[in-house]
């Protein structure tokens, strides 16, 4: 539940995941290069991280760069990597002040060395923080996450450390990049698209999805709050039925 100053929101999700979409369209609508949209989106990241921390969200996962984004023009990819490094350099001290712990999820070791080093530095610098956990999904793909988990389980089974019949939902979840964290309860996607785009495919099984037409660079605290209000209006059955439905 929320603290009293945020009571009007109702129940705040323990874990919010965000697909930050629309940077390119935001820039194009203003006659600007795509990179201008990516840079403008950084302010939305700052706002959402701060607001989620203030609201008492336990985990926030931001989809920063997917395994499919390598298909984009090399110049754009290089600029995205540069912007990520700049964000981490500038914001780590603020994250520490706000007690936010960073976790990089994805195939991080496949990133350029300087980006990988910056992500690892952010993780180390915030390691002792005990507030909200901020997952930065970089070179992340939901299918790759599941494949890596299955490979890990198979290796243990081949080594005799694990029996195949012992592999269940909990065993798989424990090998995913988000191990130890609750699954997202709310997924927000900006720019009006209604796709998962290979994001947290296992973890989002029962998440409530809120799609907003707002482009990511225009997404602010009020849009976040409205998504949380919408989450509070949903009846979450999680595969079951409510009492009234069962009676019918």
Domain assignment present for residue 19? The answer is: yes
pLDDT at 8: 74
Average pLDDT, the chain: 93
Number of domains present in the structure of the chain: 1
pLDDT at 1: 37
Distance in angstroms (rounded) separating the CA atoms of residues 213 and 197 = 17
Average pLDDT over residues 130-141: 98
Does the pLDDT at position 75 exceed 50? Answer: yes
CA-wise closest residue to 54 among 2, 123, 122, 127: 2
- Minimum mean pLDDT among 4-13, 32-41, 167-176, 204-213: which range? 4-13
Q: What is the CA radius of gyration of the chain?
A: 19
Average pLDDT over residues 113-135: 98
Domain with 110 in it: what CATH number? Answer: 3.40.1180.10
Q: What percent of the chain has pLDDT over 70?
A: 92
pLDDT at 102: 98
Domain assignment present for residue 6? The answer is: no
Does the pLDDT at position 2 exceed 60? Answer: no
The residue range of the domain holding 62 is 12-141+183-230
Distance in angstroms (rounded) separating the CA atoms of residues 167 and 57 = 31
Domain assignment present for residue 135? The answer is: yes
Does the pLDDT at position 230 exceed 90? Answer: yes
Does the pLDDT at position 12 exceed 90? Answer: yes
Confidence of residue 240 (pLDDT cuts 50, 70, 90): low
Domain assignment present for residue 240? The answer is: no
pLDDT at 241: 56
Domain assignment present for residue 38? The answer is: yes
Domain assignment present for residue 45? The answer is: yes
Q: Which residues are catalytic?
A: 21, 69
Q: What percent of the chain has pLDDT over 90?
A: 90
Q: How many CA atoms lie within 13 A of 22 on its CB side?
A: 24
Domain assignment present for residue 147? The answer is: no
Does the pLDDT at position 6 exceed 70? Answer: no
Does the pLDDT at position 161 exceed 50? Answer: yes
pLDDT at 3: 44
pLDDT at 218: 98
Enumerate residues 6+ apart whose C-beta is below 8 A from 65.
Answer: 80, 81, 84, 106, 137, 138, 139, 140
Average pLDDT over residues 73-79: 95
How do residues 85-120 score in pLDDT, each as one tens digit? 999 999 999 999 999 999 999 999 999 999 999 999
Does the pLDDT at position 189 exceed 60? Answer: yes
Domain assignment present for residue 3? The answer is: no
Average pLDDT over residues 148-154: 98
């Amino acid at each position: 539940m929320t603290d009293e100053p945020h009571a009007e929101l109702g129940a705040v999700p323990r874990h919010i995941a965000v697909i930050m979409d629309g940077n390119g369209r935001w820039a194009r609508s203003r006659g600007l290069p795509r990179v201008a949209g990516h840079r403008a989106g950084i302010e939305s990241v700052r706002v959402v991280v701060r607001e989620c921390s203030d609201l008492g969200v336990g985990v926030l996962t931001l989809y920063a760069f997917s395994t499919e984004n390598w298909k984009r023009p090399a110049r754009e990819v290089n600029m995205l990597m540069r912007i990520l490094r700049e964000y981490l350099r500038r914001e780590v001290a603020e994250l520490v002040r706000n007690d936010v712990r960073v976790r990089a999820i994805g195939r991080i070791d496949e990133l350029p060395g300087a980006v990988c080093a910056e992500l690892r530095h952010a993780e180390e610098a915030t390691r002792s923080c005990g507030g909200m956990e901020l997952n930065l999904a970089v070179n992340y793909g939901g299918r790759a996450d599941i494949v890596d988990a299955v490979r890990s389980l198979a290796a243990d089974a081949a080594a005799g450390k694990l029996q195949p019949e012992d592999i269940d939902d909990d065993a798989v979840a424990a090998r995913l990049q988000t191990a130890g964290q609750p699954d997202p309860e709310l997924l927000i996607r900006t720019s009006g698209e209604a796709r998962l785009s290979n994001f947290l495919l296992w973890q989002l099984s029962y998440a409530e999805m809120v799609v907003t037409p707002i482009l990511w660079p225009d997404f602010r605290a009020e849009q976040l709050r409205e998504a949380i209000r919408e989450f509070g209006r949903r009846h979450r059955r999680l595969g079951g039925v409510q009492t009234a439905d069962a009676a019918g």
